[in-house]
Amino acid sequence: MGEKDRKTYHIETLGCQMNERDSETIAGMLETMGYARASEWRTAGVIVVNTCSVRENADNRFFGLLGRIKKIKEAAPHTVVAVCGCMMQQQHVVDRVKSTYGWVDIVFGTHNIHEFSRLLANVTDEKAKVVSVWDEGGEIVEGLPAARRYPYKAFVNITRGCNNFCTYCIVPYTRGREQSRGAEQIIGEVRNLCADGVKEITLLGQNVNSYRGRDAADSEQYVDFPDLLYLLSEVEGLSRIRFMTSHPKDFSDKLIRAFAELEKLCPGVHLPVQAGSDHILECMNRGYTKETYLSLLAKLREVLPDIVITTDLIVGFPGETEADFEETMDLIERARFDSAFTFLFSPRKGTPAAEYDAQVSEDVKHRRFNRMVERVNAITLEKNRLYVGRTERVLAEGRSKTDETMLTGRTAGGKLVNFASDDRSIGKFADVEIVGVNTFSFFGRVKDEFQE
């Protein structure tokens, strides 16, 4: 097999944190089977692509990658190629993979990741290609291995799936109905992570604040999301708790109180608003209005004036008029987000919004999009400038991607800070004075020694 080592793997992960966490499970299974991470993906014996289907450009990236992998497979036919993730939960995609990319060895979905070892063995031992996609998830499978990407911070799933059916979104179709993990299983996992050196966890779910898991002590009782946060904040060794994504319609006063009371709960929240027009919000099936959203931000800022609030915005939802768009611009002005992910509406096959009349033309979408991004970024910069001269506690996560000589980390609120220090500081906290800012990151100077 020449340069190739059959017992190595590479996983290419597209999409959100759910996929990143799933890839850690797939990596854990591969390592349990004796595979090691490949130094370069072209030399890997097993290549896995974990796909995303949230917007059309995610689909296109996958097909682009397959074109490149085909060349690798032609040069080294023993390479095992597996594709999984959200795209594979759609029959039209599986059909296209089978008809156009017949050399792909394994196709599996989001509901049967736990089967991956068996599917891989099937290909390596029996030399048989497999397609195994489940329409729905069974019970949540606990105890799967994970090869985690970071030693000091970890993703922890608390729910899977989504019941909200926002009319533009493919996720409820690719991830199935919402299910909550048991509180005991989550707390147990976090205890183990902290015993292993993890200091910061991010609780994951499409809508974490609709979490409703069985109680550890009494399986007839349920634990809601704020209860879970209170329980987790008792875990020894854990310093920071984050979560994503929370949904504005399920953001209770009890959850706001948790922000006031729990020291370990980080003062940052990603709260996707999507649009500022009540008519569009209703067409999106979001379950809140512009004013209820803004009053939620006000309540959060009342308990934590400096809380970092980020959001997602969609431009060009079908039927969006100039007046609707102005409502979104007005919301941006009043909400003063610390930052926002901005997206052009992308029609997804099988979702109601893809079928709506009055699709907005690409020209109009782009014009609105550019105006929105410009204003969002300007506000981000204005807000970031307020940090200059402040001292923020930062968890050093590793080398900066943009400057190898710097370390990178995040403030409690989630702002990215680059600062000069050596590798011995990685995984430790330090108080860092913010001396410069731009739109996407801060530059800081370490004030105190790093602490465990």
Where on the chain is the footprint of ligand SAM (CB under 6 A)? Answer: 16, 54-55, 168-169, 171, 206-207, 245, 247, 272, 274, 312, 314, 343, 345-346, 348
Q: Residues 156-185: x/- map of binding to ligand F3S (CB under 6 A)?
A: --------------xx--xx----------
Give the β-pairing of 407-410 and 416-419: antiparallel
- The C-alpha atoms of residue 227 and residue 439 are separated, in whole angstroms, by 35
Q: Residues 65-104: x/- map of binding to ligand F3S (CB under 6 A)?
A: --------------------xx------------------
Name the nearest CA neighbour of 183 among 229, 138, 141: 229
Binds 55: which of ligand SF4, ligand F3S, ligand SAM, none (CB < 5-8 Å by kind): ligand SAM
Task: Give the bridge partners for 442, in sequence order.
Answer: 417, 437
Work out which of 27, 29, 38, 54 binds ligand F3S, going by CB under 6 A: 54
Name the nearest CA neighbour of 8 among 87, 90, 78: 78
Smallest distance, ligand F3S to C-beta of residue 180, A: 17
Smallest distance, ligand SF4 to C-beta of residue 35, A: 32
Q: Give yes or no for a contact between 115 and 107, defined as CB atoms under 8 angstroms apart.
A: no
Work out which of 16, 193, 340, 426 binds ligand F3S, going by CB under 6 A: 16
Q: Count CA within 13 A, CB hemisphere, residue 294.
A: 16
Phi first, then psi, for residue 106 (nearest 5°) are -130, 130
Residue 437: CB atoms within 10 Å: 20
Binds 165: which of ligand SF4, ligand F3S, ligand SAM, none (CB < 5-8 Å by kind): ligand SF4
Residue whose CB is less far from ligand SF4, 155 or 387: 155
Q: Is the dihedral of CA 116, 122, 127, 128 positive or negative?
A: negative
Smallest distance, ligand F3S to C-beta of residue 105, A: 22
Q: Residues 151-180: x/- map of binding to ligand SF4 (CB under 6 A)?
A: -----------x-xxx--x-xx--------
The residues, any chain, with a CB within 8 Å of residue 179's CB and separated by 6 or more, are 137, 140, 159, 160, 161
Binds 86: which of ligand SAM, ligand F3S, ligand SF4, none (CB < 5-8 Å by kind): ligand F3S
Q: Give yes or no for a contact between 1 and 37, defined as CB atoms under 8 angstroms apart.
A: no
Smallest distance, ligand SAM to C-beta of residue 1, A: 38
Binds 314: which of ligand SAM, ligand SF4, ligand F3S, none (CB < 5-8 Å by kind): ligand SAM
By CB under 6 A, the residues from 247 to 276 that bind ligand SF4 are 247
Q: Give yes or no for a contact between 7 and 36, defined as CB atoms under 8 angstroms apart.
A: yes
Q: What is the DSSP-derived secondary structure letter of residue 444? A: E
- The C-alpha atoms of residue 283 and residue 358 are separated, in whole angstroms, by 13
Work out which of 8, 23, 25, 53 binds ligand F3S, going by CB under 6 A: 53
Query: Which SS3 state, helix, strand or coil, does residue 395 take?
Result: strand
Residue whose CB is less far from ligand F3S, 319 or 352: 352
Residue whose CB is less far from ligand SAM, 164 or 384: 164
Please give the C-alpha separations between residue 22 and each of 81, 191, 316, in angstroms, as whole numbers: 17, 20, 31
Residue whose CB is less far from ligand SAM, 343 or 356: 343
Q: Determine if 52 is a binding residue for ligand F3S (CB under 6 A).
A: yes
Binding site for ligand F3S (CB under 6 A): 15-16, 18-19, 52-54, 85-86, 170-171, 174-175
